[in-house]
Amino acid sequence: MTIKGKKVGFVGAGNMGEALIKGLVAANLVAPEAIYASDVRLERLKALDKQYGIQLAADNTELLHKSDVIILAVKPQIMTAVLKQVAPAVTKRKLFISLAAGVSTAVIRAALGREARLIRVMPNTPALVLEGVTAIARADGLEPGDLETAQEIFAAVGKVVVLEEDALDAVTGLSGSGPAYVAVVIESLADGGVKMGLDRITAMTLATQTVLGAARLLMETGMHPGALKDMVSSPGGTSIAGIAALEEGGIRTTFIQAVERATLRSRELGRGPA
CB 157 within 8 A of CB 134: yes
Mind listing the pLDDT tens digit for each residue in 139-156? 888 889 999 999 999 999
Does CATH number 3.30.1370.30 belong to domain 8-169? no
Greater confidence (78 vs 133) lies with 133
Q: Rounding to the nearest 10 degrees, give the CA dihedral for residues 210, 212, 216, 217.
A: 10
Q: Does pLDDT of 131 surpass 90?
A: yes
pLDDT of residue 1: 65
Q: Determine the average pLDDT of the residues in 252-272.
A: 90
What is the rounded distance in angstroms from the CA atom of residue 216 to the CA atom of residue 129? Answer: 15
Q: Does pLDDT of 78 surpass 90?
A: no
CATH of 178-269, one of 1.20.120.140, 3.40.50.10890, 3.40.50.10470, 1.10.3730.10: 1.10.3730.10
pLDDT of residue 84: 87
Query: How do the domains of the chain map onto residue ranges?
Result: 8-169, 178-269
